[in-house]
Structure 1
């Protein structure tokens, strides 16, 4: 992030988070949360588009980039990730709610905050890209008899989530470069030429596996989420090989009173491949919100 400032924000368990800010701090804040196996640099193509209008904040999720990592698996549970989000908001926008924009695992973890009344005064809006709530996804799959073909396609697309539960094998695949090759292949699916190349590290890929292991139970024993505390925009890329459009668009419906859901052209990494489109959609969504937000 050229021209940005960096700070260290302590999480509730002592892990330090690397936080990056760009744009005018007197403007509304857009907070960007990345997914797996990325760090905050996945947002680099998008930030210049947003910084013209907003105070833009991004951070390295625990275990990635310049952020610290927890001592054990429990440090990757969703409750702790929501605490991290609260700490970043308190440090960067203490007096006004933020517009949350999240991708992949950043979105998975953010749904926990979006359905938590404690965040009602902290969130002005939420844009979710390729990252469903595990609770909502689990309930959607349980109701698969209503959409059996879509459910089967999503289960098949999620095979890697179950593979990550195996001991040692996922780490071995990272060390051998197999996982990185799979991600690269996924990136190329329908991607335009000259796209931004996301920087990734072996350490981030290994640490991030714990996200899946620490939270897989949410898919098998989903709780019914509380209603979302803010307006939500769901963007479902049409060529996403990991999160199918039916899941992304349908699972939130019972739990989001103010929901806008639409497909967008692109694949799972559309945030880096078509940043102008994502910035335009986020800005347009924010502009339609009541002025009080």
Structure 2
């Protein structure tokens, strides 16, 4: 397993960080999703850290990183600010941000802020929906809405007793029924199960969903077009690579169909035969896409 170093941020949060590669090389910041940890991107980091400085934190609420009590501490803007503060603490200057799942959702925000300041120079997304595209699909697309019902279960306080008794694993077993989910490496899975077993950490992870403003209607609610104008989210103008495992049962391929409306310099790599956890399900294909994109 990797060696983690705690980094205290200017906002008082401490993140455990895997920091490898030459310190004077171009910096890549890797953001994991739910319900994983910094190890999500291990194959990519091991492939790239002879040429790049690779930085992978356990984000707020995960691992031994800070996990403040209260849903309000997990709003997406605060999570994005953690990453900007981490880059400042490590004196990165300019960097590329890469994110998967919830880490990708935060990476969209980090890129939107960071492109304006000049700190974020490139963006890589792996199976993480654009906030405007995803919000529209939840209203208009029956299949994506049905696939997203687990979010309602993660937010439902009626499931809190289950989490307190069995940790996060009990709720995952109840809320997710993906038929084709790939199996992680046994050592990685053991670490995740250990982390999920702590109810305090489990609720911190769930707070990412509970603090999010994204509306997930019940499956049976009528489909509807979005009312008024689209949410105010900046157009991403920096070079952006989106890598998508096409067999994802949670985030369907419809999420990549209209990305060009929101990203001006876009490369999309579709990876057939891979599901949601594409960084470790299809590491060779992801690494090849990164090599071509990063140069």
Per-residue CA distance 1:134-168 (angstroms, 9 max, x = gap): 333113444x3xxxxxx111111101111222114
Match of 2:222 in 1: none
The range that moved more, 274-283 or 205-214, is: 274-283
Match of 1:31 in 2: 29
Deviation at 1:110, TM superposition (A): 1.6
Give yes or no for contact 1:7–1:20 (8 Å, CA) kept in 2: no
Per-residue CA distance 1:78-100 (angstroms, 9 max, x = gap): 110111010111123433x2111
Q: Does 1:261 align with 2:253?
A: no
Give yes or no for contact 1:29–1:55 (8 Å, CA) kept in 2: yes
Q: Does 1:8 align with 2:14?
A: no
Q: Distance in 1 between matches of 2:69 and 2:185?
A: 39
- Please report the RMSD computed on the Cα atoms of aligned residues, expressed in angstroms: 2.7
Structure 2, unmatched stretches of 5+, are 218-226
Deviation at 1:9, TM superposition (A): 2.6
Aligned to 2:5, the other structure's residue is in SS state: strand
Q: Distance in 1 between matches of 2:204 and 2:147?
A: 22
Deviation at 1:236, TM superposition (A): 1.4
Per-residue CA distance 1:167-190 (angstroms, 9 max, x = gap): 14156157434334469974x826
Q: Distance in 2 between matches of 1:118 and 1:32?
A: 17
Give yes or no for contact 1:190–1:239 (8 Å, CA) kept in 2: no
Deviation at 1:276, TM superposition (A): 2.7
Give yes or no for contact 2:18–2:57 (8 Å, CA) kept in 1: yes
Match of 1:101 in 2: 98
Deviation at 1:120, TM superposition (A): 4.1
TM-score (norm 1): 0.83
Q: Distance in 2 between matches of 1:257 and 1:162?
A: 33
Q: How many residues align?
A: 275
Q: Distance in 2 between matches of 1:184 and 1:160?
A: 6
Give yes or no for contact 1:19–1:57 (8 Å, CA) kept in 2: yes
Match of 2:149 in 1: 159
Structure 1, unmatched stretches of 5+, are 145-150, 288-293
Structure 1 residues 195 and 268, CA, compared in 2 at 3 Å: closer, same or farther? farther
Match of 2:123 in 1: 126
Deviation at 1:251, TM superposition (A): 4.3
Structure 1 residues 185 and 21, CA, compared in 2 at 3 Å: closer, same or farther? farther
Q: Distance in 2 between matches of 1:283 and 1:195?
A: 28
Structure 1 residues 157 and 5, CA, compared in 2 at 3 Å: closer, same or farther? closer
Give yes or no for contact 2:7–2:89 (8 Å, CA) kept in 1: no
Structure 1 residues 130 and 174, CA, compared in 2 at 3 Å: closer, same or farther? farther
Deviation at 1:31, TM superposition (A): 0.8
Q: Distance in 2 between matches of 1:80 and 1:158?
A: 23
Deviation at 1:25, TM superposition (A): 1.1
Aligned to 1:260, the other structure's residue is in SS state: strand
Structure 1 residues 110 and 175, CA, compared in 2 at 3 Å: closer, same or farther? farther
Structure 1 residues 174 and 153, CA, compared in 2 at 3 Å: closer, same or farther? farther
Aligned to 1:215, the other structure's residue is in SS state: coil
Give yes or no for contact 2:7–2:15 (8 Å, CA) kept in 1: yes
